[in-house]
Amino acid sequence: MSNREEIVYSYDVMVEKSAETGLSYQDAIIVLTDKFVAKHKRGSVEIPERSTLDVPELIYDSVRFHVQQTRQQRRQYLKDVFDDIGDKHEYPAGHKAHEAAKRRLIRNFSRAFPLGVDEGKDKALGMWHIPDVMNAIDSRRENLQKQKAALELFEASAARAVRALKEGEWWS
């Protein structure tokens, strides 16, 4: 198992054990860092004695990177998961779409997915309920509004830059 795979697997297990309550991904990063630092101290990771590397900091950076990357990928994958839930419900057992959706849902059942709430909680897919899906929708809507506001600010700044460029001598 690679470092990334071990981190993501451990993250999924922690979140699944949190069951209905979900788990803060920031808390998961801290706990996983402690776990992997302890593993390093037991000698399963070899670093030369004279090394100036700050191993706990490197482990923290690695855990944080892999957890955040996984969360982002799974956040993008939620639409597909929701389609699978719909397909499994709408198509009869034995239908190709039903069976394919069922396989994907089983594969993702114990995996952590971001709930889309501000505090950064994650929950195993098998523990999701209607309010969790609604939170994911609200989170996407809020992100869209933030992106629209950022676009408006960008357009206003760009319009000022265009005016300055048209008038020339903006560089001196």
Give the pTM.
0.78
Domain residue spans in the chain?
3-78+111-128
d(CA 25, CA 31): 10
- pLDDT at position 172 is 66
Place of tokens 């920031």: 26
pLDDT for the residue 13: 96
Average pLDDT of the residues in 86-114: 97
- Per cent of the chain over pLDDT 70 is 90
Per-residue pLDDT averaged across 38-65, rounded?
Answer: 74
| Confidence class for position 101, pLDDT limits 50, 70, 90 | very high
Helices and strands (H, E) in the chain, number of each type: 5, 3
* Closest C-alpha to 113, from 62, 68, 78: 78
Instruction: Please give the pLDDT value at position 44.
Output: 55
Going by pLDDT thresholds of 50, 70 and 90, the confidence category of residue 49 is low
Amino acid, res. 143: N
Q: What rounded mean pLDDT belongs to the chain?
A: 89
**CA–CA distance, 116 with 35 (Å, rounded to integer):** 26
